[in-house]
Chains A and B, each alone.
Chain A
């Protein structure tokens, strides 16, 4: 098992958001977490990535045999936990490819691999950028600065392609995307599916799941997973709503 969440309770700003959540994820699986607004979906994504401001106050999260909650955000990243942000932040003045090189080399260093030099890195990203149908010029712009909503989301999945995580969490990746951009992003994600990599897709709408077909669908409500099922559960929710 890659990720095991047991009875997880999480507080944010003095509010109990997650109230005893259980979830198990195996390598190669794609899990969709759905639920109404305010159910705790994004809290789950953030707590797994180590976002400050979320205070676990019960339960446990085991990732590849380690206590995930005891790890710093950068340790988690280096161990292969990746989050595609709902609202990727802009970092003016920092070149996009420079940023990604620093990230990749931090991960490689952690794994005991040799850091890539500029030439090797460039060859790698030229290959990966095709996957997301992104323009090369985006590599030389500042991180997310002036990017459209769609470009930001593509850039997130592009980073995922380069960093090759073992557990990817996509937080509302479909929000703000038109249908063409959604297809490109979904194709990118599908190309990254493999037997060793698990993906958790957090989404409000079924739409994304037409393109990224999950193995499991979970309904989060009131801080708990209230239903789990196969991909057909998403269609049922679409038809009947969350109630």
Chain B
């Protein structure tokens, strides 16, 4: 005897029927006629998903992936367990496709917003890169296309694939098909599922067996990472015994008219492979009064097979709201997962970030080092889960979560979750909260060091365990970036 359907179930069934109707109806815009359109009209429905996929010339299996994601998404609601105050997003008011815009080139750096120029200078970004980032026409001295080409040919020699996600779908469909959604299933969570339905573009990396990628996949990316859109998708596969270090993001301030960003990053480290994934996130955080700013809701996860290692390192200084938990599924025996994070919130920024370490294999090890800095009215939450499965004999975890407060209107919160089902596991957790005291600042000033330099010095000292995990050149930039984002945090 089956119970009578509830109201909700009835509604869901009606919705599903309606969807089916739409899915089966003829595509009224046609598949080719609309290509010239630059931007889709706002709204999300199955038709939009189909048009998007068609526009990108995607194969059937990918359209299916998008459609089943979309249908799953319809049944989901936004998570509310976080410690964030979020203005509701009207998903039907967003446009889900926008052709990469040709930026109007500026004649010289003089035309660039002085504020932006100032930041570039403080960061010490080389002039030619500044010009590219700001969209200034560059002369023949620095031709980014030729640099990119040299770079690509060197990688190709070693069999490394590094291209946009769309290119990968065209040129390496078998790899994409095999691994897409294998780490973050399309049903994973509200934002990841939305991304799976409507992702715009992103990056794809494949490192063949036994290959050590000869360079940081970073410089090239920094210059070329524009216009990936608000639903970015990244997939990195490191085959057996390979090694790759990847840097995402940019210290230069990133502005975007899209408020919502929901990216998905999947890492697959096959047996004995190593993936080092570093992020510097500096999206527009909103103004001093908390107006504007980007919502950054990211799902990042890696699967680590036997003897492999995944390291997530992140420096989060931007965005009005950050919601992200780069995680490791330590599936194979002896797999290692690491998470090093610095998250800064100033003015009215909010961050709810941390990691999940899921120990499935024997003798798996994980390390978590999280440094949260709050200033102004900023709210910083560390949320981390360590799960030791029944079979994970000999698993070990060490977590350290430190918070630093600047001023008395900000907040720091720590939510560690532990779930241990194997009695041989060793799990350690340390946490601390400290405050930059006026007496410390005065001590520095009495020695001739300004308040701002004093704060920077203390903050750098606080973060050094994380900075040393970053690739060299970015560690320096990250430090400068941190000081810029904390500017004005002491009176």
Contacts and interface: CB of A to CB of B under 8 A. Distances in A.
Given A93-B462, A95-B461, A102 B453 contact: yes
Contacts of B458: 91, 93-94
A74 B434 contact: no
A72 B445 contact: yes
Nearest to B432: A92
A106 B462 contact: no
B446 interface: yes
A83 interface: yes
Given A92-B461, A93-B461, A102-B453, A83 B446 contact: yes
A74 B449 contact: yes
A142 B461 CA distance: 9
Nearest to A76: B446
Interface string B443-469: 111111110010001101110100000
A91 B441 CA distance: 9
B417 interface: no
Contact of B461 (A77, A85, A91): A91
Given A91-B440, A102-B453, A159 B461 contact: no
Nearest to A106: B448
B458 to A, nearest CB: 6
B439 interface: yes
Q: Which one of A49, A95, A102 has the highest number of Cβ atoms from chain B below 10 Å of its Cβ? A: A102
Contact of B446 (A73, A99, A142): A73
B461 A107 contact: no
Given A92-B461, A142-B461, A159 B443 contact: no
A98 B453 CA distance: 12
Nearest to B459: A93
A171 B173 CA distance: 74
A107 to B, nearest CB: 5
Given A52-B438, A89-B437, A89-B440, A94 B461 contact: yes
A51 B447 contact: no
Contacts of A106: 447-450, 453
B245 to A, nearest CB: 26
B442 interface: yes
A41 to B, nearest CB: 17
Q: Chain A contact residues (Cβ within 8 angstroms of B): what range? A: 20 to 34
Contacts of B449: 74, 99, 102-103, 106
A73 B440 CA distance: 13
A214 interface: no
B174 to A, nearest CB: 49
A77 B447 contact: yes
At the interface, is chain B mostly helix, strand, loop or mixed?
A: helix
A100 B439 CA distance: 17
Nearest to A85: B443
Contacts of A103: 444, 447-449
A99 B437 CA distance: 16
B443 A94 contact: no
B450 A74 contact: yes
Contacts of B460: 93-94
Given A91-B440, A92-B434, A50 B446 contact: yes
Q: Which one of A88, A93, A106 has the highest number of Cβ atoms from chain B below 10 Å of its Cβ? A: A93
A78 B453 CA distance: 15
A110 interface: yes
Given A52-B442, A89-B440, A77 B457 contact: no
B482 to A, nearest CB: 13
A163 interface: yes
Interface string A146-189: 00000000000001000100000000000000000000000000
B448 A89 contact: no
A209 to B, nearest CB: 24
Given A73-B442, A89-B437, A89-B440, A94 B447 contact: no
Contacts of B448: 74, 77-78, 103-104, 106-107, 110, 163
Interface string A47-70: 001111000000000000000000
Q: Which one of A49, A73, A104 has the highest number of Cβ atoms from chain B below 10 Å of its Cβ? A: A73
Contact of A88 (B434, B437, B443, B464): B443
A77 B448 CA distance: 5
Q: Which one of B434, B447, B461 has the highest number of Cβ atoms from chain A below 10 Å of its Cβ? A: B447
Contacts of B450: 74, 106
Nearest to A94: B461
Interface string A34-56: 00000000000000011110000
Given A91-B458, A93-B462, A102-B457, A73 B445 contact: yes
A129 to B, nearest CB: 17
A198 B460 CA distance: 36
B464 A93 contact: yes
A215 B231 CA distance: 75
B457 A99 contact: yes
Contacts of B444: 91, 99, 103
Nearest to A169: B446
A95 to B, nearest CB: 7
Given A77-B446, A159-B447, A89 B461 contact: no
A237 to B, nearest CB: 29
5 contacts: A93-B460, A93-B462, A98-B457, A103-B448, A103-B449
Interface of A: 49-52, 72-74, 76-78, 82-83, 85, 88-89, 91-95, 98-100, 102-104, 106-107, 110, 142, 159, 163
Given A52-B438, A93-B461, A104-B448, 15 more contacts: A74-B445, A74-B446, A74-B450, A77-B447, A89-B439, A91-B461, A92-B461, A93-B460, A93-B464, A94-B458, A94-B460, A102-B453, A102-B457, A110-B448, A159-B447
Closest 3 CB pairs of A and B: A93-B461, A103-B447, A77-B448
